[in-house]
A = this chain, B = another copy of it.
Amino acid sequence: MLRLSKLTDYAVVVMARLARDGAGPEGQVQTAPGLAMATGIAEPTVAKVLKLLGQAGLVEGLRGARGGYRLTRPLGAVPLSEVIVAVDGPIALTACVDGGSGGCEAERICAVRGRWDPVNRAIRDALSGITLADLAGPAPRSAPARPDQAAPEAVLLAE
Contact = CB atoms under 8 A, between A and B. Distances in A.
Contacts of A155: 105-109
Interface stretch (A23-31, A48-56, A60-68, A120-128): A120-128
Nearest to A128: B122
Contact of A109 (B38, B89, B109, B130): B38
A56 B152 CA distance: 43
A68 to B, nearest CB: 19
Nearest to A132: B112
Interface in A1-48: 1-4, 6, 9, 12-13, 16-17, 20, 38-41
Interface residues of A, number: 62
A88 B135 contact: no
A41 B2 contact: no
A96 B150 CA distance: 21
A137 interface: yes
A100 interface: no
A9 B94 contact: yes
A115 B137 contact: yes
Interface string A101-118: 100011111111111101
8 tightest Cβ-Cβ pairs between the two chains A and B: A40-B106, A122-B126, A126-B126, A114-B140, A16-B111, A109-B147, A115-B135, A4-B93
